[in-house]
Amino acid sequence: MRILHVAAEIYPLVKTGGLADVAAALPPALAERGLDTRILLPGLPGILHGVADLKPLIRIGPAFGAAIVTLRLGRLRDSGLPAYVIDAPFLYRRDGNPYLGPDGHDWGDNHRRFALLGWIAAHIAAGELDPDWEPDVVHAHDWHAGLAPAYIAQNPGLSTATVFTIHNLAFRGLFPLDCYADLCLPGRKLTPRGLEFHGQISFMKAGLVYSKRLTTVSPTYAREICTPEFGWGLEGVLGDRGAALSGILNGVDTTVWNPGTDRDIDRTYTVENTAGKKSCKLDLQAELGLKQDAKVPLFAVVSRLTSQKGMDLLLAALPELLGEGAQLAVLGTGESGLEAGFHQAAAANPESVAVHVGYDEALSHRFMAGADVLLVPSRFEPCGLTQLYALRYGTLPLVRKVGGLADTVAHASPANLAQDSATGFVFNDANSRALTTCLHEACALYRDENAWRQVQRKGMTQDFSWNDSAAHYEALYRSL
C-alpha cells in the first residue's frame, strides 16, 4: 500500500510546533510496518537545503501566481524516505516562519501558497506528476494541506482514499471570500456545505468536508471538538462527520528523545540509574543563572507562550509556587504580554526564575533532562508532545485534564499512588486556583523521595513510541 503524507513542516528542517515532529516520525514508523510511504513538502528554504539528493522530477509551469513550479524528488536524511518538494521560488523561498512575514502577520498570499500544496498532492494522486509512483492514500495534515482532499474529490476519475488529520482546530486557515477565485475550484464548492465558513473560506473545513476519514491526535480531543467549547464553530461539521472521525494518539520519536543516548545533555541516564539526571539539573541551574541546589524542586516550561498553553494561569500562580521555595525555568516564545510577564518575574526573582525567550532545540533537551516537573497547563491541547518527552526523561508532567494531556498523564492521587498508576499531576479547571492547588500537591510529593521515585519510574517506563499509533493508522488505511 502506498501512502503520501502532505505537511507544511518537518523536523528538523522547518518546525513551528508538534506538527513537524509528527511529520518526521509517523511516515518512517509506517514504512517500518512495510507501507510504501512518501511525503510532500513545500519548498521552503530549510526544506530545499535539508532534503538530500533533490532532483527535478517534472516542471509544471506557472501555477497559483508562481511563474515556475518544479516538483523535485529527494530523500529525508534521517529516515531515508522519499520526499517530494514543490520548488516554487516566488511562493516559498522566504526565510523565517513558514506562515508569517517579518511583520508577524500572515503572508498575504498564504491561500495560494497552501492551495498549491494541496493541488500538487491531487496531481501526484492522479499519476500525472510521477509516472513511477501513485499513492493509494493521501494523508493530509492540518489546514495547510486541507485543500488536497478537495482537489482529489473534484476529480471524478480518482479513487485515491483521503485521510485528514486535525492537529489544532484553532488554526482554521481562514481567508476572505474573494480569494476563492485563485483556488481553481468550482463555484459549487463555495457553500456552507463546502468551503464557506461564515462569510470566509476555511481550508480546515475543506479537509473536514472532503476527506474520506478524519483523525485527530488524541481520543479525548476527538470528542471535545464536537462540542461548542472546543469546536471553533466547526463542531456542527464535525458532528455530521462523526462516524468518519477518530482520535489516534501521537507518539514519541525515541531516536530523538531518549535520556540514555541524548547528545544534547552532558550526562545521560536511564530508569535504572537516574544519577545523571541530578547532574543535568545542576547543569541547567548553572546555565540559567539559577541558584544551584539539588534539593529545590525545579519546574519548567518548554512551550509556545500563548493563552492556549495556559501561560497566563501560570503567571498568576507563580507567587505561590515561589512561596514553596521552588524554581521556574521557561523556554519559549509567543505573545509579547506573556513574554514580558515572565521577564518581570525573572528580574524580581533572579535566583529562582529564569526565562529564555527564543526557540532552541538543544536547550529544550537540557530543560527536559534537568527539570523535576514540566508544566503544561493548557486551555486546550489536541495531543501535546512535551508531556510525553517529560515522561521519558523522568520529569513529572503537571497538566490540565484536557485533550491529549488527559489521555497521557495519570494524577498522583492517593488511589493512583496506591495502585502504582500515577505518572504526574493533573488538574481540572482552567483557573489559577486549580493550578495553584496542583502545584502545592507536586511540591508536597517532591518532599517524599520514595513516592517521587515511584511516579518517576512509572512515567519513564510508559510506552508512547510510534509503534502503536502507526498500527492504528495502518488499520485505518486498510479499512479504506
What letter represents residue 213's amino acid?
Answer: R
Based on the shown chain and the rule CB under 6 A, indicate whether residue 82 belongs to the binding site for ligand ADP: no
The rounded distance, in Å, linking the Cα atoms of 94 and 41 is 15
**Residue for grid cell 467549547:** 229
Based on the shown chain and the rule CB under 6 A, indicate whether residue 386 belongs to the binding site for ligand ADP: yes
304 binds, among ligand GLC, ligand ADP, none (CB under 5 to 8 A by kind): ligand ADP
Pull the grid cell for residue 263: 547528545
Residues 6 or more apart from 401 whose CB is under 8 A from it? 426, 427, 428
Find the Cα–Cα–Cα–Cα dihedral 454, 457, 458, 460, rounded to 10°.
Answer: 160
Member of 110, 285, 303, 395 binding ligand ADP (CB under 6 A): 303
| Distance from chain centroid for Cα 128 | 32
Member of 12, 17, 127, 334 binding ligand GLC (CB under 6 A): 17
The rounded distance, in Å, linking the Cα atoms of 161 and 143 is 18
Q: Which CB, 37 or 168, lies closer to ligand GLC? A: 168
217 binds, among ligand GLC, ligand ADP, none (CB under 5 to 8 A by kind): ligand GLC
Member of 250, 352, 364, 423 binding ligand GLC (CB under 6 A): 250
Instruction: State the minimum distance, in angstroms, from the CB of residue 302 to ligand ADP.
Output: 5
Member of 8, 13, 19, 443 binding ligand GLC (CB under 6 A): 19
333 binds, among ligand ADP, ligand GLC, none (CB under 5 to 8 A by kind): ligand ADP
Which residues, numbered 377-416, are part of the site for ligand GLC (CB under 6 A)?
A: 381-385, 404
Instruction: State the minimum distance, in angstroms, from the CB of residue 388 to ligand GLC.
Output: 9
Is the CB of residue 276 less than 8 Å from the CB of residue 48?
A: no
Based on the shown chain and the rule CB under 6 A, indicate whether residue 408 belongs to the binding site for ligand ADP: no
Instruction: State the minimum distance, in angstroms, from the CB of residue 383 to ligand GLC.
Output: 4
Member of 14, 18, 57, 232 binding ligand GLC (CB under 6 A): 18
- The interface mask with ligand ADP, positions 329-368, x = CB under 6 A, is --xxx-------------------------xxx--x----
Is the CB of residue 201 less than 8 Å from the CB of residue 111?
A: yes
Is the CB of residue 209 less than 8 Å from the CB of residue 153?
A: no
Member of 3, 6, 22, 57 binding ligand GLC (CB under 6 A): 22
Pull the grid cell for residue 118: 494541496
Is the CB of residue 137 less than 8 Å from the CB of residue 160?
A: yes
By CB under 6 A, the count of residues binding ligand GLC is 14
Instruction: State the minimum distance, in angstroms, from the CB of residue 384 to ligand ADP.
Output: 5
- Pick the piece of the chain touching ligand GLC (CB under 6 A) from 17-25, 144-152, 176-184, 422-430: 17-25
Pairing of strands 200-202, 174-176: antiparallel
- Pick the piece of the chain touching ligand GLC (CB under 6 A) from 13-21, 127-135, 267-275, 359-367: 13-21
CA neighbor of 70 nearest in space, from 82, 60, 80, 83: 60
For 341, other C-beta atoms within 10 Å of its C-beta total 20
Which residues, numbered 364-383, are part of the site for ligand GLC (CB under 6 A)?
A: 381-383
Based on the shown chain and the rule CB under 6 A, indicate whether residue 310 belongs to the binding site for ligand ADP: no
Q: Which CB, 56 or 337, lies closer to ligand ADP? A: 337
Based on the shown chain and the rule CB under 6 A, indicate whether residue 255 belongs to the binding site for ligand ADP: no
Q: Cα–Cα distances in Å, from 45 out to 57, 414, 440, 455?
A: 18, 52, 46, 43
Pairing of strands 2-6, 36-42: parallel
Based on the shown chain and the rule CB under 6 A, indicate whether residue 224 belongs to the binding site for ligand GLC: no
Based on the shown chain and the rule CB under 6 A, indicate whether residue 43 belongs to the binding site for ligand ADP: no
Cα diameter, the chain: 67
| Burial call 194-232: b when 16+ CB within 10 Å, e when fewer | bbbbeebbbbbbbbbbbbbbbbbbbbbbbebbbeeebbb
296 binds, among ligand ADP, ligand GLC, none (CB under 5 to 8 A by kind): none
Instruction: State the minimum distance, in angstroms, from the CB of residue 46 to ligand ADP.
Output: 15
Instruction: State the minimum distance, in angstroms, from the CB of residue 416 to ligand ADP.
Output: 23
What are 273-282's contacts with CB under 8 Å, separation 24+? 274/394, 274/456, 276/369, 277/369, 277/370, 277/393, 277/394, 280/366, 280/369, 280/370, 281/369, 281/370, 281/371, 281/372
| Distance from chain centroid for Cα 175 | 23
Member of 217, 300, 390, 442 binding ligand GLC (CB under 6 A): 217
Instruction: State the minimum distance, in angstroms, from the CB of residue 59 to ligand ADP.
Output: 35
Question: CB burial class (10 A; 0-12, 13-18, 19+) of residue 409?
Answer: buried
Residues that bind ligand ADP (CB under 6 A): 17-18, 21, 302-304, 331-333, 359-361, 364, 383-386
Residues that bind ligand GLC (CB under 6 A): 17-19, 22, 167-168, 217, 250, 381-385, 404
